[in-house]
Amino acid sequence: MTSEGKHADTVLDPLFIEESEEGYRNPTEVKMSQIVLPCHANHCGELSVGQLLKWMDSTACLSAERHAGCSCITASVDDIHFEHTIGVGKVVNIIAKVNRAFTSSMEVGILVTCEDLYTDRQWKVCHAFATFVARRTEAGKVQLKQVIPHTQMEQMEYSLAAERRRMRLIHAEIITDLLSSSTEYQDAVPAERTRVESVELVLPPHANHQVSTFGGQIMAWMENVATIAARCGLPALLKFTN
């Protein structure tokens, strides 16, 4: 993530601009605002990425459940590129809404912005697309109702969602093929030097409203372990490159 910057201007993501149709509000839209407290910060005094992922996942899940009318679980999250860090005392604003529903899964668009209450500035932090799956009910597999685009922007996102879904399936096949290959790289840093293992006991604070560990919490644990692994591998990498 890059530095927050002193001259960040108000930023509106074109995918989330509210079009001027009086009285209209996307029925699946969920907004959440959180002020960053010291307990949310990492060792650098900035909002932990893991904490942000938990908030994003929770907001997106509520949007998915609002559309599905039943409990939903996180299936996947596309690549996320963080443009700015977020300091303690700033306000995080998250908007999530369902772009398109398929048979039992749906794509949820997520936008994260940061707000400085004292200077009235707001800037984009990241956006992401998450896939949620509706849980089976006693009657069997859920058949989701279709999303009906109401505005031109919603129509564009509805169309792009199908293409993104196709690319996700292709990406999964490519990764499977790469993992099955036995290519070896010469002069690479041994993976054992970066190996980090973590065992977590699931406690009540780790559960969501469904009383189970949710995707955001798992991503937070993953981010913590990945950060430690990256720090473990950095000295070895520097030694190799020098």
Q: What is the pLDDT along the chain (242 residues), one digit of tens a residue?
A: 544 444 445 444 555 555 545 668 899 999 999 999 999 999 889 999 999 999 999 999 999 999 999 999 999 999 899 999 999 999 999 999 999 999 999 999 999 999 999 998 999 999 999 999 998 777 677 889 999 999 999 999 999 999 999 998 888 778 777 767 756 555 566 667 778 888 888 888 888 888 788 888 988 888 888 888 887 766 544 443 44
Edge to edge, what strands does the sheet with 105-116 contain? Answer: 30-35, 91-101, 105-116, 121-134, 72-77
Q: Model-level pTM?
A: 0.76
